[in-house]
Amino acid sequence: MRISICIAVLASVCLTPLSLEARALPIAKERDPYVTTIAKNWSFRQAGKERWYPATVPGSVHSDLRSNGLIPDPFFRDNEAKLQWIGYEDWEYATSFNVDPRVLARDRLTLVFEGLDTYATVLLNEREVLSADNMFRRWLVDAKALLKPKGNSLRVVFRSPIDEVLPRMRATSYELPAVNDQGEKTSPHTRKAPYQYGWDWGPRFVTSGIWQPVRLEAWDEARISDLYVTTPKVAANEAEIAAQVTISAVRPVEASVVLDAGPGVAPARRTVSLAAGENVVTVPLRIERPKLWWPNGLGDQPLYTVRARLSTARAADEASHRIGIRTVELRQKNDEWGKSFEFVVNGVPVFAKGGNWIPADSFPERVTAERYRHLIDSCRRANMNMLRVWGGGIYENDLFYDLCDEMGILVWQDFMFACSMYPGDEAFLDNVRHEAIDNVVRLRNHPSIVLWCGNNEVETAWAHWGWKDRLPAKLWDDYLKLFHGVLPDVCAKLDPSRAYWPSSPSSNLEDDADSQRIGDVHYWGVWHASLPFRDYEKQKPRFMSEYGFQSFPLKATVETYAIPEDWNIESPVMKAHQRHPRGNELIREYMLREFAEPKDFDSFLYVSQVLQAEGMRIGSEHLRRLMPRNMGALYWQIDDCWPVASWSGMDYYGRWKAMHYYAARFFDDVLLSTVERDDGVEVSIVSDRVAASRGVLRLRLLDFAGQPLLERSAPVEVAPLASRVVATVDAAEVDAAGPREAMFLHATLEVDGTIVSRSSHYFRPFKELKLRRAEVEPVVKGRRGAVRVALSSKTLARALYLSLDGAEGHFVDNFFDLVPGEPVEVAIEGKGLTPEEVRRRLRIRSLADAFDR
């Protein structure tokens, strides 16, 4: 008889309803009498108030207030300011539940809280059973003695995370810096998602609530409490897998453990005598001719499900994890430029392309499986292979990493510390130690994760933001304890297969934190210091983990938070959705260097996106051309947590801004890139492919009607994993061809009969080009759900922008230059869209349409 159904894997992961949908793992089901998800009958109230309201668990107090109609939409207009009171209140959640007598009879009954946000007292049948103080930890409560068959009450009382800390802060002679807290600077004292206190792209919503599931787990005799799978040997003919199965036993008992990895792999069996308490059993497996897991662009992502089955005379249990077979190394070798910083997967140095991920919502429970899938798939489609889960957010939901495993997106995982100094007392360090243990154990089986990183920007902030000079030296000692002590210790012990890096950016204290010789770099001279985009080309980092520029979201997104009277970037509502103090000013300043003043609000939004995309193209192409000296280009930032003007490439609704479309091109595995020097235009080919190929490079100087003024083509070698200058168009040739404001250089690279990369180079800022408005002729084709638009133009159309008025549809390509004589066809993804509807709603504009002239 099967007595206990396992949730071993679940015991070490945090599951939300999102991940329930997507996993093939054994899952806690309501109908299973031994694992009960306590998700029903929850209600909540403001502490001290009479009335209770229905609540959703997992969730947050903001979402519950909203769904009960007690507050307006927090993201609409300037509602944020009116909702700050919520963070200063205490909140209470309660439910009641019955326990099947068969469950009550089990040896062990454990209440599992996968996440409580944040200062919480838990009462079971009115007895205090837990005091929680860290949003990122999971909490286990031995509940056997307190449970009864009918009418158990569970109550969770949350204290205001702000008020909790204020008295402690008042008692200290200095304030811990927290540059992004928009209010009292309490966040460094509390283990809660930093971005919820406000950021330079995020609102301040200091939530409380049961943000991850609550379960009752009942078991007999023995169960698997963790399954940790490593691959000590990976070779073409054979991989060795070691599964470390942690088994909790109620009493000494004989058990058998069977491990399998699916069809074609011989299972392994162990018979063990378990002692009471925790037992660790290691079982090896061999996989012949393993299918290797590769990052996106370099190969496939085969995943093996490794399953452990435990049985004793009375109990049976099982746990499983999906793993990928690969090796990973953070290679840091002394070289002519300092010390390399590159990720090597299965022996291949991988140029990391991607961006920084922030939580996709101010209220994490609102990120559905579809939203996660859309965002990560969009990264895959934009030829990215790495995301940095940035330290001011959350350790992401399991589904996030599952999707990264499936799509070959490597994950640089920060611990959740950003832009602050932190306490260093034993209680705080111990709390963080537990948080690190919980999350490293939960996540270490994911092949996508390649690095643990201590924090975001604390090392550089201490050195360069004036902190070292004005704050007590003790804070640096505390820093060392945490980021060079507690965190690397946990990683070394629980996940020795991955590297730990103390901060981003960092030189691991071997040089200045911002050193371009050692470690990673955040470069913000473009943006914060108003330096021109071309300044990117002066940077020579070893790995660029942040660089970015802001833009406004799409108009359809603006319309969700601003009404027509707000449609001016300086209106109070638009400014409430622009969190950088100089954001609008900087966008405008950069914009006017390149463009005239856009003619209206819509044009301003559009031009801001093209500006951002062009700037990031300059930076990203440069960083790729620098390979192998530089081996990473992670821009700031992938996504948004609410609708806002920000550095994101996709807005809150997952709509691709111009930059995300550009990213698909500037991160493509073969890149043709041009850069203007004094003596002419240099043409480079960068390839992330492991194999060499031959191609044809075609260079043409064209006027804006597409007439060739100079034409040249030549066979070229596309060298593997390399960046090479392959041609130059001399300044004299350019000048001989005609006036620079009336032409452009159009380059294409053809490999095996297809154009794999194209590039347009302009010799003057857009505002000086003699470019007329383009008349683009669309022909809409296809059928319902599979519509395409064919486009051609007699005049160059720059940054051609296709949109649908009043309908959702994703254009597979957008914001591209439509060159006369080179018609293109763009597919539209959109459920149920018909050609007729597209014809009616299609709007086409290009840069020349954005200005009165």
Residues that bind ligand BMA (CB under 6 A): 199-201, 419, 456-457, 522, 546, 636, 647
Are 725 and 681 in contact, with CB atoms under 8 Å apart? no
Q: Which is nearer to ligand BMA, 198 or 209 (CB)?
A: 198
CA 92 to chain centre: 32
Q: How far is the CB of 182 from ligand BMA (least distance, A)?
A: 13
Helix, strand, coil percent content, the chain, rounded in steps of 5: 25, 35, 40
Q: How far is the CB of 187 from ligand BMA (least distance, A)?
A: 13
Q: How far is the CB of 456 from ligand BMA (least distance, A)?
A: 5
Structure tokens at 63: 């979402």
Q: Which is nearer to ligand BMA, 585 or 805 (CB)?
A: 585
Q: How far is it, in rounded angstroms, from Cα 71 to Cα 161?
A: 20
Q: How far is it, in rounded angstroms, from Cα 551 to Cα 648?
A: 8
The residue among 113, 91, 89 whose CA lies nearest residue 15 is 113
DSSP 26: -
Q: Which is nearer to ligand BMA, 201 or 543 (CB)?
A: 201
Q: Which is nearer to ligand BMA, 201 or 205 (CB)?
A: 201
Q: Which is nearer to ligand BMA, 77 or 522 (CB)?
A: 522
The residue among 160, 157, 129 whose CA lies nearest residue 143 is 129
Q: Which residue of this chain has its Cβ atom nearest to ligand BMA in the complex?
A: 200
Q: How far is it, in rounded angstroms, from Cα 750 to Cα 757?
A: 7
Q: How far is it, in rounded angstroms, from Cα 152 to Cα 134?
A: 25
Structure tokens at 454: 């201590």
Q: How far is the CB of 502 from ligand BMA (least distance, A)?
A: 15
Q: How far is the CB of 419 from ligand BMA (least distance, A)?
A: 5
Handedness of CA 250, 147, 122, 91 (dihedral sign): positive
Q: How far is the CB of 384 from ligand BMA (least distance, A)?
A: 18
Q: How far is it, in rounded angstroms, from Cα 469 to Cα 451?
A: 31
Q: How far is it, in rounded angstroms, from Cα 298 to Cα 281?
A: 35
Q: How far is the CB of 656 from ligand BMA (least distance, A)?
A: 20
- In angstroms and rounded to an integer, the radius of gyration of the C-alpha atoms of the chain is 28
Question: What separation, in Å, do the N-terminal and C-terminal C-alpha atoms of the chain show?
Answer: 81
Q: Which is nearer to ligand BMA, 201 or 351 (CB)?
A: 201
Q: Are strands 386-389 and 352-357 parallel, antiparallel or unpaired?
A: parallel
Half-sphere exposure in the Cβ direction for 620 (13 Å, CA): 31
Q: Which is nearer to ligand BMA, 636 or 811 (CB)?
A: 636
Q: How far is the CB of 164 from ligand BMA (least distance, A)?
A: 24
Q: Which is nearer to ligand BMA, 160 or 356 (CB)?
A: 356
Q: Which is nearer to ligand BMA, 587 or 686 (CB)?
A: 587
Coil/strand/helix, residue 327: coil
DSSP 420: B
Q: Which is nearer to ligand BMA, 226 or 457 (CB)?
A: 457
Ordered DSSP codes for 342-385? EEEETTEEE-EEEEEE--S-SSGGG--HHHHHHHHHHHHHTT--
Q: Which is nearer to ligand BMA, 348 or 531 (CB)?
A: 531
Place of tokens 């007729």: 836
Q: How far is the CB of 457 from ligand BMA (least distance, A)?
A: 5
Q: How far is it, in rounded angstroms, from Cα 458 to Cα 475?
A: 11
Helices within 555-597 (DSSP H only): 555-561, 572-576, 583-594
